[in-house]
A and B are shown apart, each in its own frame.
Chain A
Amino acid sequence: MKPVNQKAWFLILPVILCVAFSAILPLMTVVNYSVQDIISPERRVFVGTEWFKSVMRDEDLQGALIRQIVFSLSVLAVEIPLGIALALSMPAKGWKSSAVLVLVAISLLIPWNVVGTIWQIYGRTDIGLMGAAFAKLGFDYSYTGNATHAWLTVLLMDVWHWTPLVALLCFAGLRAIPDAYYQAASIDGASKFAVFRFIQLPKLRGVLMIAVLLRFMDSFMIYTEPFVLTGGGPGNATTFLSQYLTQKAVGQFDLGPAAAFSLIYFLIILLLCFILYNWMQRVGTTDESGAAHG
């Protein structure tokens, strides 16, 4: 019953058309493909949920899924604490603060395939700084041949690329803490660690939830950087979900199962998003309801 000016609806008509064209129609197409066997562009057979079943049973897919989950969890385990530590050591005020902010943010500005290329060269034992250093130290480093090395390199690349995002979010969160808390803590005789544990970390809760959500979702969908760096190898050691999907759809032109898998992928992310978001909301409101009474 809220009084609203109806004419405003016409302003978003162009947006609706764009979204329909670029997102909704393609999504409907994918759903359509996922229930058909496309033997050739002319011959299509309706197969119902068969693709979904076979996708779930696919061992290669299960392998990719496990690799993906392990990767995302490792990413979180390294990037979140490192981001916090970085934010804590960044200066808060003055020209130094602006300079450090810019330096920290540089890796976020690089196009993702260029990131892959940078690390590809960086890791080469003949012309790459890191690769050559390892070789000099006598360490038998090869990200193309050794699966563990490939994993670690991909992880390191992601950490280098995305930790600054966590750091920037935490930096903003830290600035929002009023000075009085630090003054009170110093009057209470709290050690630096106590200040971190009892003031900074609790106050960063909201910001950390956002950081975790963003990094988990992004790493779960990662494609460009590992593809450019290792191409998914050696073997399929660094083939994560999105790459596996692309191989299936584009490489093998098996549209039916690829479409089915896309939908499942989409639903997994949606589910995880939903869970994390609700958790965030609940954490947020317990803090607020305490303040609202006051």
Chain B
Amino acid sequence: MELRLDRIEKQVGPSTHLYPLDLTLVPRAVTVLLGATQAGKTTLMRLMAGLDVPSKGRVTADGKDVTGLPVRERNVAMVYQQFINYPSMTVADNIASPLKLRAGKTSRTSIDSRVNELAAKLHIDPFLKRLPAELSGGQQQRVALARALAKNAPLMLLDEPLVNLDYKLREELRDELSQLFAAGESTVVYATTEPTEALLLGGYTAVMDRGELLQYGPTAEVFHRPKSIRVARAFSDPPMNLVQGTAAAGGIALPGGGVLPMALPMAMPVGSSALTLGIRASALRVHGGSADMALPGTVELAEIAGSDTFVHVATPIGELVAQLTGVHVFTLGAAITLYLDPARVHVFDAAGDLLAAPTLGAH
């Protein structure tokens, strides 16, 4: 389904839940709605589904105007955070429910075979005779997913479906979901608060913040070229290091005296334009190359997160967080030098819009 939202707005009483936005979903692809809680992701999803009507604007599905159409008349499947299943029906009946409601005769055997096929795909075939309450959280969510897949709707909406699950279970289900989405024909919209999930699901990402749609595009592109500081902040975990600087001869003057050698994209009068440098935690390293700027500092905190170590360092240009691969042990207060490659820095102008971003590819 090609879903288009034209100038959609949503006001509830005096507060604006969604500011005017335009969005055209790429058909048969996964679109991730990324944003903090209260960013408007659920509100937007409800408008897409037909559970709510926008205060202004139009919703078009495959060229047909569906703005006022209630969700019952649209062909949409939705999966929620809270493992929603029919509590009095067995797992098999739950999965079969959209198939039974379909207009036209579907034979008993074909329903059964489809139920078994989906249950096998989601690894819940041993539980077909049980009630949802007897299953664990992860299994219940799989039932909800199987039911959504059974409907085979052209539009599938998932509202933070993995957030109530164990972290490891989340990883496993996410992998399975990616494969299921790739194998299917539906347009998928997936809401999440975690940037890593957006990156792992791929597809396209729409970044939202406080009711506004900030940027929409292929996920990798939105990540590497965030249009503004707000997008960069929403789409990074750990948060991007932001350093204030001003345009100077040969580069950017930083607090604490240094000048980062950079060719600025536009001619700027020296000393006047306030710029913000965005440095991702992974852009800082402990071994420097020749072009790198050295930032001596002291370790304030070292956090080990499984495959990576995050070091908080107090440097002359401010407090920075660096992400290092593997497990590294640091003592607090130890001296450490971080190296910054000017080619890996994002530059934002005074208004917060992107001026320059690191080029992708091998160096």
Contacts and interface: CB of A to CB of B under 8 A. Distances in A.
The answer on direct contact between A and B (beta carbons under 8 Å) is yes
Interface of A: 1-3
Contacts of B326: none
Nearest to A293: B38
Nearest to A294: B37
Interface string B33-66: 0000000000000000010010000000000000
Nearest to B55: A1
Nearest to B71: A3
Interface string B92-119: 0000000000000000000000000000
Contacts of B68: 1, 3
Contacts of A3: 50, 53, 68-70
Nearest to B53: A1
Contacts of A2: 53
Nearest to A3: B70
A174 B50 CA distance: 39
Q: Nearest 8 A-B pairs (CB), nearest first?
A: A3-B70, A3-B68, A1-B53, A2-B53, A3-B69, A3-B53, A1-B68, A3-B50
B196 to A, nearest CB: 23
Interface residues of B, number: 5
Interface in B320-361: none
8 contacts: A1-B53, A1-B68, A2-B53, A3-B50, A3-B53, A3-B68, A3-B69, A3-B70
A8 to B, nearest CB: 13
A265 to B, nearest CB: 36
A1 B70 CA distance: 11
Give chain A's interface secondary structure class. loop
Contacts of B50: 3
A2 B70 CA distance: 8
Interface string B179-217: 000000000000000000000000000000000000000
A3 to B, nearest CB: 4
A3 B69 CA distance: 7
A3 B70 CA distance: 6
Nearest to B37: A294
Contacts of B69: 3
Contacts of A1: 53, 68
Nearest to A5: B70
A2 B68 CA distance: 7
A162 to B, nearest CB: 36
Contacts of B70: 3
B201 to A, nearest CB: 27
Nearest to B70: A3
Given A1-B53, A3-B50, A3-B69, 5 more contacts: A1-B68, A2-B53, A3-B53, A3-B68, A3-B70
A232 B69 CA distance: 62
Contacts of B53: 1-3
A4 B49 CA distance: 16
B49 to A, nearest CB: 12
Nearest to B68: A3
A1 B69 CA distance: 11
Nearest to A1: B53
A218 B50 CA distance: 44
A204 to B, nearest CB: 27
Nearest to B50: A3
B1 to A, nearest CB: 19
A5 to B, nearest CB: 8
Interface string B247-282: 000000000000000000000000000000000000
A293 to B, nearest CB: 9
A2 B50 CA distance: 10
B274 to A, nearest CB: 32
B285 to A, nearest CB: 38
A1 B68 CA distance: 8
The winner among B50, B69, B70 for most chain A CB atoms within 10 A is B70
B66 to A, nearest CB: 10
A34 B49 CA distance: 54
A2 B52 CA distance: 8
A3 B53 CA distance: 8
A2 B55 CA distance: 10
Interface string B63-91: 00000111000000000000000000000
A2 B47 CA distance: 12
A3 B50 CA distance: 9
A58 to B, nearest CB: 46
Nearest to A2: B53
Nearest to A4: B70
A1 B11 CA distance: 13
B43 to A, nearest CB: 15
